[in-house]
């Protein structure tokens, strides 16, 4: 195969995968390759995959099939991400058209693998891939920055500890340097990422041990950066310093994604979550005491093995007790190699479907109510993209709601907007004022 000159990277799954996809694209660009308009015209297609649920993993194979072109040819195909890590060389056996398989901790070697033409690399090398990646050059108004990777929690349903490896925090200086590069490239909002981002720990330039709140305080001092977010957090790592930061740092947006997964202590124990319903609600209480208008998001799983109707009702109850601005909910999906996959009392698919519907109806009501409560208020919106209708632009409120602004200002503007209408999934606003750069 001739050396590819154009590339297309397609990412699935969590924001950390989106981040990795951006870094792979930057890496290929640094090698002199150029981005193709889409997968159809690219010489090299990277499918950056997710393994979290069965459907996500199966999708990879149908996506590979769809890359075949009318004349029967295929581009060079690289499968990256968590399916690559979990299945390795098996992918090439199942899908002969796959040339390269590269795991989430090895993708800095993508150019070498491309040069080889056919290769599998799912190493988890001790040296960090980040040191081998080119500096950030491209950014829109919002940017992701991975500061922590991996997971040591081993929830019994979850593949992440196996696909991403052990918890590692990137060093203080590496994070701040990357943040500066992103701001220089145009980022006004940075979202710090990690599977357990609030477990981040490191030493600052004076050798003092810092947690995520210390990192956020350092970013708060970075000229040009207007907004800071972080995701995703574990209830047990929600330390008081971070909670206090929500009350003290204006640039830290009032939004917290804090998954609890279920509302029954019995199920939480079987999930190996190591927190209880009461400890979760206690954390939420302290967060709200620090920042009363904070929007709370979360993740829920229905139909975990052994979940009874009463257990499920307890999940509805914790949703009511928490009051979400938004949340994600999933049917439990047995993942090969995880302890829950072989537990007895697997819940029937029809029961999972029915529970998911009831949960999503409740979460939908809460989200709509949260959105409606912002009508009549003014909110600062960072404009991210064009809307469907001429003149419209769309951005995010501090509470992560999408806001459609009629006669909206340009992408990258921080605008003060009066919220005039609310739907289940977005708000509509009128421009009142444009804020000068931070």
Residue 94 Cα to chain centre, angstroms: 29
51 binds ligand SAH (CB under 6 A): no
How far apart are the C-alpha atoms of 140 and 396, rounded to whole Å? 14
269 binds ligand SF4 (CB under 6 A): no
**Comparing C-alpha atoms, which of 90, 105, 74 is closest to residue 8?**
74
113 binds ligand SAH (CB under 6 A): no
Nearer to ligand SAH, 275 or 372 (CB): 275
Residue 53 binds which of ligand SF4, ligand SAH, ligand F3S, none (CB < 5-8 A, kind-dependent): ligand SAH
Nearer to ligand SAH, 207 or 337 (CB): 337
126-132: which pairs have CB atoms within 8 A and are 24 or more residues apart?
Answer: 128/168, 128/170, 129/105, 130/170, 130/174, 131/174, 132/108
Q: Which of 170, 335, 352, 355 binds ligand SAH (CB under 6 A)?
A: 335
CB of 328 to ligand F3S, least distance (A): 11
14 binds ligand SF4 (CB under 6 A): no
> Residue 87 belongs to what H/E stretch?
helix 81-87
Q: Which of 259, 305, 387, 395 binds ligand SAH (CB under 6 A)?
A: 259
How far apart are the C-alpha atoms of 293 and 302, rounded to whole Å? 28
Say how many residues touch ligand SF4, by CB under 6 A: 10
Show the DSSP H helices in 249-322 as ranges: 265-270, 277-290, 309-322
Residues near ligand F3S (CB under 6 A) are 13-14, 16-17, 50-52, 81-82, 159-160, 163-164
Residue 17 binds which of ligand F3S, ligand SF4, ligand SAH, none (CB < 5-8 A, kind-dependent): ligand F3S
291 binds ligand SF4 (CB under 6 A): no
355 binds ligand SAH (CB under 6 A): no
Q: Report 187-246 residues binding ligand SF4 (CB under 6 A).
A: 195-196, 234
Phi, psi (rounded to 5 degrees) for 340: -70, -25
Q: What is the DSSP annotation of 171-235?
A: PHHHHHHHHHHHHHTT-SEEEEE-TTGGG-EEE-TTS-EEEHHHHHHHHHTSTT--EEEEE---G
Name the residues that contact ligand SF4, by CB under 6 A.
151, 153-155, 158, 160-161, 195-196, 234
């Amino acid at each position: 195969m001739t050396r590819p000159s154009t590339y297309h990277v397609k990412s699935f799954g969590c924001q950390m995968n989106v981040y990795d996809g951006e870094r792979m694209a930057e890496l290929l660009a640094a090698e002199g390759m150029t981005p193709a308009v889409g997968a159809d015209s690219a010489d090299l297609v990277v499918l950056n995959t997710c393994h979290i649920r069965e459907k996500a993993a199966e999708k990879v194979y149908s996506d590979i099939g769809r890359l075949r072109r009318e004349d029967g040819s295929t581009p060079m195909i690289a499968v990256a991400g968590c399916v690559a890590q979990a299945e390795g060389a098996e992918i090439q056996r199942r899908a002969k058209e796959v040339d390269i398989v590269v795991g989430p901790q090895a993708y800095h070697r993508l150019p070498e693998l491309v040069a080889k033409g056919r290769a599998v690399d799912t190493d988890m090398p001790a040296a960090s891939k980040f040191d081998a990646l080119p500096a950030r050059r491209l950014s829109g108004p919002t940017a992701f920055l991975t500061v922590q990777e991996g997971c040591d929690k081993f929830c019994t349903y979850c593949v992440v500890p196996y696909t991403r490896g052990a918890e590692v925090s990137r060093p203080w200086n590496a994070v701040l340097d990357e943040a500066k590069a992103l701001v220089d490239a145009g980022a006004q909002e940075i979202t710090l990422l990690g599977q357990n981002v609030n477990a981040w720990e490191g030493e600052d330039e004076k050798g003092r041990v810092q947690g995520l709140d210390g990192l956020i305080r350092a970013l708060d001092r970075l000229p040009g950066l207007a907004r800071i977010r972080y995701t995703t957090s574990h209830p047990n790592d929600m330390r008081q310093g971070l909670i206090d930061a929500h009350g003290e740092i204006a640039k830290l947006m009032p939004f917290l994604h804090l998954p609890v997964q279920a509302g029954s202590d019995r199920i939480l124990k079987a999930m190996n979550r190591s927190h209880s319903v009461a400890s979760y609600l206690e954390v939420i209480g302290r967060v709200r005491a620090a920042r009363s208008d904070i929007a709370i998001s979360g993740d829920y799983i229905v139909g975990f093995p052994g979940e009874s109707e009463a257990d499920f009702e307890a999940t509805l109850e914790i949703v009511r007790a928490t009051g979400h601005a938004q949340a994600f909910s999933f049917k439990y999906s047995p993942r090969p190699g995880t302890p829950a996959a072989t537990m007895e009392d697997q819940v029937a698919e029809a029961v999972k479907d029915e529970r998911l519907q009831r949960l999503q109806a409740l979460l939908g009501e809460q989200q709509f109510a949260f959105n409606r409560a912002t009508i009549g208020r003014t909110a600062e919106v960072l404009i991210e993209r064009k809307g469907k209708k001429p003149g419209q632009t769309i951005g995010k409120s501090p509470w992560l709601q999408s806001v459609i602004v009629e006669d909206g200002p340009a992408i990258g503007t921080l605008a003060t907007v009066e919220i005039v209408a609310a739907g289940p999934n977005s708000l509509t606003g009128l421009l009142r004022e444009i804020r000068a750069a931070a």
